[in-house]
Structure 1
Amino acid sequence: METKKSLFDNLQNFFGFDNFKGEQEAIITNILAGNDTFVIMPTGGGKSMCYQLPALMSDGTAIVISPLIALMKNQVDQLRAFGGSDSIAHFLNSSLTKSEIGRVKEDVLSGKTKLLYVAPESLTKQENIDFLRLNHVSFVAVDEAHCISEWGHDFRPEYRKIRQVISNIGENIPIIALTATATPKVQHDIQKNLQMSNATVYKSSFNRSNLFYEVRAKRNVLKEIIKFVKQNPGKSGIIYCLSRKKVEEVAEALTLNGVKALPYHAGLDAKVRADTQDKFLMEDVEVIVATIAFGMGIDKPDVRYVIHHDMPKSMEGYYQETGRAGRDGGEGVCVAFYSEKDIDKLQKFMKDKPVSEREIGTQILKEVIDYAESSVCRRKQILHYFGENFNEAGCNNMCDNCSSHKEQFDGEEHLHQALSLIKQLGEKFDDNHIVNVLIGEDDSHVHHYEHHLLENFGAGKTQGKNLWKSLLRQALLDNYISKDIDNYGLLHLTAKGRDFLENPHSIRFIMNRPMEAADDEDGDEGPKQGGTALDTQLLQMLKDLRKKIAKQKSLPPFVVFQDPSLEEMCTHYPITIDELKQISGVGAGKAMKFGAPFIELIKKYVEDNDIDRPVDMVIKSAANKSALKVYIIQNIDRHLDLEDIASSKGLTYEEILREVESIVNSGTKLNLNYYINEVIDEDRQEEVFDYFRSAEVDSIDNAMAELGSDDYTREEVQLMRIKFMSELGN
């Protein structure tokens, strides 16, 4: 009773909580009793409390092994804030200087430090082992324990040496292993490797009832992501991409579209990553775009959405990454974009791996494909993967599949047919083989086993591949069959399946909606122009308004807005300055200078004609030229010759003029006088300038015809048009 009282007192005094969450109390009591403990608890369940509190209550120092430097820093900061002393918790990893390491060791030796966070790489260094032997270690906590297993989604070879190191530090040191994602296979692996088969196991439900799961076919993915983020202003979100290049691209596109977003991947400097993380925690940044491979040690409770630009390599990865949403129990939306092309890419990555690793990788990836393509409750599939049975009624329409209309079919006869075939073939084949025999697909594998000669070869041809794949997937989820994932995914009948063969009964299955074919990602560059019908009535009104404003300001109409910009306004109906800035050829400068009357007119037109505006506002594409544009602007500010700027970037003179013109047309003011005065004398400049002042259109051909092509080169006229647009339009 006394221990229980002190447990609650410490919880209250140190962390300010009145009650434990889930099984925290039982876990902590078990550790304090000196027992090995294995905790499987989903993200957001309060894992860190399970080792932090007993460490504070025990004599000596607890060692916490964690693979994430960011997470260590985060937790150490929190513990120091709670404890009011910097010595209470430290981390030991490659980011520290020699003098910082000295300070850490001093605090640990003096007994002031209750928790020492160590990276697995640092733990295996002989000097650190020797140092830790000098101390009283209360227990060792192995966080992210799934890294031990090759079947885990984040395998790290150094994790497999942890047991050996603990034995070198001292005898009978209790171990607590913790993970947020572990299939039964991975659990077994962890316990075997850490030699803790007698550990008390605490496994919480993996159901996160507040998360909404959705998988979308991958089309115009960048546009879709920007649209989603813009529709959720002020909310924190994480976007995962498979490559660093894509991370940079998505972060840049979001920034370009007015979203506070930053990239986060292993290629960035450690200080930049730490700063980025702090900005996210302090809400100076709304969205972090990160690589899947790089686990973000973010302990932020109010992440409102997690988007996967690419499907992850495993269901564990998917579960852990989506699990970063809604850790406070509030809203959490998880959207993943799926295309077969991505899966092909992932399979190509595996080609170079050893055969056993490739086999494991293929099985793990297959689970992701099944999940993405299935029409069954997403929650039921996720939980089944982690060895937990779930009735889809409990999903409460919190996934795209449950909240949409589902076509069902009576599967009694079909299930009987499939289970009979599995039994007949000695339970030695995977689902692809079974489906191919049923639909009569005579592939090399079927032929090799002479299964094309079976009487029931092709017996299910009329039902089609989609039905059989769907049926087997649901038979697995409903435990009529089991999959031997260790052994090439071979299907076996369960007791329930055998019983069904003896006593068949009516059963309903959901018909799979085939995932709509995802286009190539050409759509990434934003909308293609000319695809939508133009609103010619509005176009005429906008041209009249442009004429009127041009007259008031004594400017040619094309200086206000060029025709392509007006045409785009007629398909996207922008009604705010921010939306107007998204129209191509309208930069911030032009929008502020000329935008207001155009927005007013469009707004009134939309209301009067009851127009249903397309919600997918035109997305500014981060054409990879944006870095080039910045480079050009900076060097014009430094008064460099255009030829020099062009040659430094491998461009021709015509190309650099085109770039400069596009910068000016979007509303940025550039002062090119230093250069123009060198190449065109003042009288000739004035003549061209006067021509454009009275011209109806900005055509260079018209200008050359009027001014005389013998007197001016094309480039000179173009230069003067740039000067004219910059000075009068911006």
Structure 2
Amino acid sequence: MQDLKSALKRFFGHDVFRPLQEQIIAEVLNNRDLLVIMPTGGGKSLCYQLPALLKPGLTLVVSPLISLMQDQVNALKDRGIGATFLNSSLNSQEIQSRSREILQGNIKLLYVAPERLLSEGFSVFLTQIQQDVGISALAIDEAHCVSEWGQDFRPEYRQIKGLRQRYPQVPMVALTATATTRVRQDIIQQLGLIKPGVYVDSFNRPNLYYEVVSKDKRDYPQLLKYIKLQQGSGIVYCLSRRRVEEVASRLQADGISSLPYHGGMDDTVRSVYQNRFIGDDVRVMVATIAFGMGINKPDVRFVFHYDLPRNLESYYQEVGRAGRDGERAICVLFFSRGDIRTIDYLIKQKSDPSAQRLARQGLSSMVDYAESTVCRRKIQLSYFGERFSGSCQNCDNCLNPKPQEDWTIEAQKFLSCVARCQERFGMNHIIDVLRGSRKEKIERYGHHLLSTYGIGKDISSEAWKRLGRSLLDQGLVNATNDDYAILKLNKLSWEILRNSRRVSVAVATPKAEKQQTKDIESEFLWLQLRQLRQKLADRLGIPPYSIISDSTLKVLSQRQPTTKAQLGQISGLNQSKIAQYGDLFLEEIKAFLASTHLPEQLPSPTQIATLELHQQGLSVKAIARERNLTTSTIYRHLAELISLNRPVNLDSLVLPSKQAAIKAALLKWGATNLTPVKAYLGEDYTYSEIQLVRAWLQKKS
């Protein structure tokens, strides 16, 4: 295992494996079929990438999206690793050139889409690869696409099983971030995995903060306010293409750099937009769910759902785009019951009754999540069959717990009805019986004759549902893991019925905001290093995170290394990275340390916020709009930042020709009282421009 750790450091710059990675990699090296389920950001890719570098031959990776495979290949090549892809974005000459490299043994990882993998021409090429260099493993990324029970089924994935029959000796590794128990079984069957090792990492993403807010009637201003409160880049998910275009347009008009992304756009335009987002040229991407799986940007700091997702699995997949670097990220769902009617209308358009039923169950799980008053994380993990005890302290319900009401009597009525219905029905049927519904199904089973029939008429259906969800969330009743979610009593249920356990249900209250604190000095150095990274990325034409991740930048800003030996001790920096970029980052850190002022002279958090937006290229007016401040306040921040020797671009604020005139006037009239300076210069010059140049002169002196 020590050899694996040294290989991890050599190729990827990391000192330790994440949970399960080391065991999985050892299994891959032993040629065993595997099903690997890890949450987004958990390190699935490393599970086949590192073995590919340690085994003879080529590892074939099936990936469903062109943009995703391009990102992964670029990241590997930047680490000095032989990787390439073959897809429809290449011309014939490029395909021939890459094919030669593969057959010459220069490539260790080849990414292809399932459509190409199954084509006749590629089948011939595979035979040649096997003869000349050998196929060491077959990795199936986004393996949930193989299952009709998954939320992104692709028929082409079903045909991959043919490769197992053609190359029975080649181990197959199926990987996905989301899979219920049913989907896992389907993946194993549809891919023909032979006695696979099944590794299921925790679905818990502790760095993600979850929140649900009631959507206002004036919903767009509410969204805009939330975006302005965030730093970094983010994604806003909408249900329809029209909504995507509308929101992106309004954000642009309000000074937020944003772009739309949906299936109705030209492929080339979508690719350009996605690359601009990955390259940090655009701060916010407004997208339909089509954007969810294809984005490989690790430093997304927030994901907002402007509309209700169709099911909890889709929601988990989409918020999984946030915080893949392990740093804190915010996930907010804007919820309105009007969204339920919209999705229900879309469900009715499905012709298959079975598909309608499954879709409604998915919608029900999503509504339960949105309206629940218990830990959001607990509900998500329970959906995937994982138990989470206690309070996560990183969701709105845990940080701002709602007052509790005693609902023991109502719980006894509910559970008694479950028992009298012989534990054969789901929640909706139980509530219908309690409320005395006259549905045909109730009379058909004789449930109108039960003692619990109609004993809950005085309580609304929604209140009964809230109780039912709370009982499930607290483990006070069970539900079968199938299409119908039939309620079953457990030991705790009987304790409630025997009056030896009380039941409390939370009631909703207004949300309180959580405050955050920052280490100002390391935060400022992080901004400078981020600016350097952006310049390098622009010059090289690659995404900024391909150079150094946000999490590594954060460690650099905290530890402030000054030698390459110290750089080598930081996780995420291998020797290839240090050789390419080490000197540049060390120079930046040393310059910062040489110019750092005393603590009382460091920029304040509000000045740092202004500086970050200035470094993104926003005008003073745009920064003022973004921060809801006056332009005079922003000019004052920038002048103070110049005085503190921070990298403010004076030329973008004051024309060089004006700077010369202002400098001359300040030398003539002095810098203490600006009134005579302004009078001397005339109406073409503003006090703000004079203050900025004065700050620059004072810094120089």
- TM-score (ref. length: structure 2): 0.69
Structure 1 residues 135-166: Cα deviation after superposition (integer angstroms, max 9, x where no partner): 22111111111112222111112112211233
- Of stretches 141-150 and 444-453 in structure 1, the one that deviates more from structure 2 is 444-453
* Equivalent position to 2:387, from 386, 389, 393: 389
Structure 1 residues 536-587: Cα deviation after superposition (integer angstroms, max 9, x where no partner): xxxxxxxxxxxxxxxxxxxxxxxxxxxxxxxxxxxxxxxx9559989xxxxx
Q: Is the 8 A contact 1:471 1:509 kept in 2?
A: no
Q: Is the 8 A contact 2:421 2:447 kept in 1?
A: no
User: Where do residues 652-663 of structure 1 align in structure 2 (5 Å cutoff)?
Assistant: none
Alpha-carbon distance, 1:293 to partner: 3.1
**Pair 224,83 (structure 1): closer, same or farther in 2 beyond 3 Å:** same
Alpha-carbon distance, 1:253 to partner: 0.9
Alpha-carbon distance, 1:405 to partner: 4.2
Code of the residue aligned with 2:69 in structure 1: it is M
Q: Higher relative contact order at CA 8 Å, sep ≥6: structure 1 or structure 2?
A: 2
Matched, 1:235 2:229: no
Alpha-carbon distance, 1:440 to partner: 2.4
Code of the residue aligned with 1:12 in structure 2: it is K
**Pair 158,505 (structure 1): closer, same or farther in 2 beyond 3 Å:** farther
What is residue 321 of structure 2 aligned with on the other side? 324
Hey, what's the Cα distance between the residues in 1 that align with 2:445 and 2:162? 46
What is residue 634 of structure 1 aligned with on the other side? none
Identity %, equivalent residues: 44
Hey, what's the Cα distance between the residues in 2 that align with 1:164 and 1:514? 55
Q: Is the 8 A contact 1:214 1:335 kept in 2?
A: yes
Code of the residue aligned with 1:90 in structure 2: it is T
Matched, 1:505 2:500: yes
Hey, what's the Cα distance between the residues in 1 that align with 2:27 and 2:625? 60
**Pair 211,489 (structure 1): closer, same or farther in 2 beyond 3 Å:** same
Hey, what's the Cα distance between the residues in 2 that align with 1:463 and 1:51? 54
Matched, 1:21 2:18: yes
**Pair 279,355 (structure 1): closer, same or farther in 2 beyond 3 Å:** same
- Of stretches 483-492 and 281-290 in structure 1, the one that deviates more from structure 2 is 483-492
**Pair 580,112 (structure 1): closer, same or farther in 2 beyond 3 Å:** closer
User: Where do residues 419-568 of structure 1 align in structure 2 (5 Å cutoff)?
Assistant: 419-493=415-489, 495-496=490-491, 499-500=494-495, 504-513=499-508
Hey, what's the Cα distance between the residues in 1 that align with 2:310 and 2:92? 38
Hey, what's the Cα distance between the residues in 2 that align with 1:295 and 1:580? 32
Hey, what's the Cα distance between the residues in 2 that align with 1:6 and 1:476? 46
Hey, what's the Cα distance between the residues in 2 that align with 1:291 and 1:390? 30
Alpha-carbon distance, 1:380 to partner: 0.9
User: Where do residues 209-224 of structure 1 align in structure 2 (5 Å cutoff)?
Assistant: 209-219=206-216, 220-224=218-222
Hey, what's the Cα distance between the residues in 2 that align with 1:150 and 1:388? 22
Q: Is the 8 A contact 1:305 1:334 kept in 2?
A: yes
User: Where do residues 112-511 of structure 1 align in structure 2 (5 Å cutoff)?
Assistant: 112-134=106-128, 135=130, 136-168=134-166, 170-196=167-193, 198-219=195-216, 220-232=218-230, 234-351=231-348, 352-393=350-391, 395-396=392-393, 398-493=394-489, 495-496=490-491, 499-500=494-495, 504-511=499-506
- TM-score (ref. length: structure 1): 0.67
Code of the residue aligned with 2:137 in structure 1: it is F
**Pair 515,97 (structure 1): closer, same or farther in 2 beyond 3 Å:** farther
Q: Is the 8 A contact 1:146 1:182 kept in 2?
A: yes
Hey, what's the Cα distance between the residues in 2 that align with 1:152 and 1:289? 24
Matched, 1:65 2:59: no
Alpha-carbon distance, 1:503 to partner: 5.2
Q: Which structure has the greater CA radius of gyration? A: 1
Alpha-carbon distance, 1:501 to partner: 6.6
What is residue 527 of structure 1 aligned with on the other side? none
Code of the residue aligned with 1:303 in structure 2: it is V
Hey, what's the Cα distance between the residues in 2 that align with 1:194 and 1:303? 33
Structure 2: stretches of 5+ with no match in the other structure: 512-619, 637-701
Code of the residue aligned with 2:116 in structure 1: it is S
SS of equivalent to 1:461: coil
Hey, what's the Cα distance between the residues in 2 that align with 1:509 and 1:143? 43
Alpha-carbon distance, 1:212 to partner: 1.3
Q: Aligned-pair RMSD on alpha carbons?
A: 2.7
Code of the residue aligned with 2:452 in structure 1: it is N
Hey, what's the Cα distance between the residues in 1 that align with 2:336 and 2:481? 24
Count of aligned pairs between the two proteins? 518
Alpha-carbon distance, 1:439 to partner: 2.4
SS of equivalent to 1:440: coil
Structure 1 residues 57-99: Cα deviation after superposition (integer angstroms, max 9, x where no partner): 1111111111121110000001111126xxx212122222222
Q: Is the 8 A contact 2:413 2:452 kept in 1?
A: no
**Pair 129,432 (structure 1): closer, same or farther in 2 beyond 3 Å:** same
SS of equivalent to 1:324: coil
Structure 1 residues 673-728: Cα deviation after superposition (integer angstroms, max 9, x where no partner): xxxxxxxxxxxxxxxxxxxxxxxxxxxxxxxxxxxxxxxxxxxxxxxxxxxxxxxx
Hey, what's the Cα distance between the residues in 2 that align with 1:127 and 1:482? 52
Alpha-carbon distance, 1:498 to partner: 6.1
Structure 1 residues 618-650: Cα deviation after superposition (integer angstroms, max 9, x where no partner): xxxxxxxxxxxxxxxxxxxxxxxxxxxxxxxxx
Structure 1 residues 400-451: Cα deviation after superposition (integer angstroms, max 9, x where no partner): 2223341323344433332222222122221111012112233444344342
Code of the residue aligned with 2:455 in structure 1: it is A
SS of equivalent to 2:396: coil
Alpha-carbon distance, 1:359 to partner: 1.8
Alpha-carbon distance, 1:367 to partner: 0.6
Matched, 1:38 2:35: yes
Q: Is the 8 A contact 1:239 1:288 kept in 2?
A: yes
User: Where do residues 701-716 of structure 1 align in structure 2 (5 Å cutoff)?
Assistant: none
